[in-house]
Structure 1
């Protein structure tokens, strides 16, 4: 399986998009294997990289470049909010105060002071 090719071909795909493409590829491989006399097509049992790439080529990603641009322009953190640094290596964290993103307060972390 050529993972680099699959990653490159599935840019902008959400996990659900990838799952859909994987199901399509698995179904195509299953149907192909059923029609071959020994149950194995081209010496490969099951789905191959080519099957997955073909399925990805047929699928439409949910996320589009305009959506990404729109999200980047409209996403502004509340002053004093450190929610964008939550992926940084932080030894100690605490929940963001409720005044910052009231609907998402439990999902963000800030650097402990």
Structure 2
């Protein structure tokens, strides 16, 4: 009887040991999975951060292009205004010259009229 009890006791101890090993193995697997999940989340965060940085850079470039475009438009507008003012000045000069020519002809006519009298 004693041997049978000892045998049963040993078997129970073996079972208990086996269960302990299985639990330990399961625990290690869970930890591994948890660690893997954390690493994956970390990688996703890094990717998300990089994506946001790229978007930010893209927006900054677009903003810079917009500024350059506005500056070019402003320069073009100023150039056109200068040309227009130049044309106006030239027109005034031409008008003045025309008026002077008319006055000179009138003066010539008046002088000729006086000479003929």
- Structure having the larger proportion of residues in helix: 2
Q: Say whether the fold is shared (TM-score over 0.5).
A: no
Higher relative contact order (CA 8 A, sep 6+): 1
TM range (shorter): under 0.3
- Structure having the larger proportion of residues in strand: 1
